[in-house]
Amino acid sequence: MSVTISPSILNCDILDLRGELEKISNADFAHVDVMDNHFVPNLTWGLPVVEQIVAANILPVDAHLMIADADRWAPAYAEAGCASVTFHVEAAAAPIRLAREIRNQGARVGMALKPTTSIEPFEEILDEVDMILIMTVEPGFGGQPFLSSMLPKIRRTREAAKRRGIDLAIQVDGGVSQQTIEQCADAGADVFVAGSAVFKAEDAAAEVETLRTLAASVCEHC
Ligand SMILES: O=C(CO)[C@H](O)[C@H](O)COP(=O)(O)O
Ligand SMILES: [Fe+2]
């Protein structure tokens, strides 16, 4: 496992989406935040836009679905060709069935936890997913400050995966920057979403490499 950098396009220049994706073509994924104004108090884009990002073939798509009724809508994102599909466990009635459906469509599957959702009730099903996404802000908006109170949860998730011998990816999303990425990597994260940090930088590609280097310098298992 190596360090994975997945910049969020949430606050990029949407009128030049192709140009923005090309700027970060040295990243591993494009992190695409789907919000439905029900699960979170914000609205972004849905399947037709995501399909076009997949078809542009610039970067594999890492879809972060902040939508209600994930059971109903998430498999379509895998079918659309997203490389990775992450649903929120708080929005899924049957997370195991949903995770299997997404995997059956050929995508990697992620399960996301809001800041107040604990990992412990889900330890038994860690082998049903490829990735756990630990939100380090309340989901809904970019540009929020990193919640360092989430670091113990990252650590406990990495320990649980190790105990069970599972090769689990742990993604962190929200307020990840040059100032916070090392703490996340040190706690056990290996997949890093950064929106503002990358797209507000003068040189987005250089920022991706800086974040990668900082994370790699402390990530034990990367
Ligand atoms: O899921 C998200 C918000 O719910 C975004 O991926 C996240 O906030 C990225 O933006 P930033 O790096 O600016 O915090
Ligand atoms: Fe996200």
Do the annotations mark residue 6 as ligand-binding?
no
Q: Look up the CATH architecture of domain 4-218.
A: Alpha-Beta Barrel (3.20)
Kindly give the distance from the C-alpha atom of residue 9 to the centroid of ligand 2, in angstroms, as a whole number: 9
195 lines ligand 1 (CB under 6 A): yes
Distance 199 CA to ligand 1 centre (A): 12
Active site residues: 33, 173
Residue 81 labelled as part of a binding site: no
Mean pLDDT of the chain: 97
Does residue 210 line the site of ligand 1, with CB under 6 A? no
**pLDDT of residue 147 exceeding 80:** yes
- 19 CB less than 6 Å from ligand 1? no
Q: Is 193's pLDDT higher than 90?
A: yes
Percent of the chain's residues with pLDDT above 70: 100
The yes-or-no verdict on residue 71 having pLDDT over 90 is yes
| ipTM higher than threshold 0.90 | yes
| Rounded distance from Cα 15 to ligand 2 centre (Å) | 20
List strand residue ranges (DSSP E) for 36-136, in order: 61-66, 84-88, 108-113, 131-135
> Which residue is listed with tokens 């929020």?
144
**pLDDT of 45 strictly over 90:** yes
Exposure letters 144-171 (e unless 16+ CB within 10 A, then b) = eebbeebbebbebbbebbeeeeeebbbb
Helical packing angle, 70-79 and 95-104, nearest 10°: 10
10 Cβ below 6 A of ligand 1: yes
Residue spans of the domains in the chain: they are 4-218
Distance CA 109, CA 131 (A): 6
> Annotation-wise, does 31 bind a ligand?
yes
